[in-house]
Homo-oligomer: A and B are copies of this chain.
Amino acid sequence: MLTRKEKEVMDITGKDKICDNLCSLTEKVESVREKMVSSEKLLELSELFKVLGDHTRIRILYALFQSELCVCDLSEILGMTQSAISHQLRVLRSAKVVKYRREGKKVYYNLDDAHIFSLLDIGMIHVNE
């Protein structure tokens, strides 16, 4: 895409391309464009990673990786207020990253499925290199 200034320059010079390789390699660019997953799907994917991309939420998930826990436990383990934890659990719930069950006054949380485990594992491997 062109900036406003670039467009003005192109209007003046009469050029119709951004950079030289677009002439010879339009096929390559077109090929990639065709094989691109829909922007909506990629938006969903980025939303998933965005949910995982927070220190507090990752710590919550790693704690839940060890054991089912209630909000109060998580508050104690992470050393954060119940409110802060609860707000983040809401984000994790909305993204279907955790599931929960009520037992009396308490609400116990778990990781939602095996994919979450895999993502955490592979991510950790990458980080540890």
Contact B49 A58 (CB under 8 A): yes
Interface size on A, residues (CB 8 A): 67
Contact A81 B2 (CB under 8 A): yes
CB neighbours (8 Å) of A39 from chain B are 55, 59
Report which of B21, B33, B42, B118 forms a contact with A55, defined as CB distance below 8 A: B42
Q: Is the interface of A mostly helix, strand, loop or mixed?
A: helix
Query: Which single member of B42, B73, B75 contacts A32 (CB below 8 Å)?
Result: B73
With A53-B51, A58-B42, A72-B18 as contacts: A32 and B123 at CB distance below 8 Å: no
Interface residues of A (CB under 8 A from B): 1-3, 18-19, 21-22, 25, 28-29, 31-33, 35-37, 39, 41-55, 57-59, 62-63, 66-67, 69-70, 72-73, 75-84, 106, 113, 115-116, 118-120, 122-128
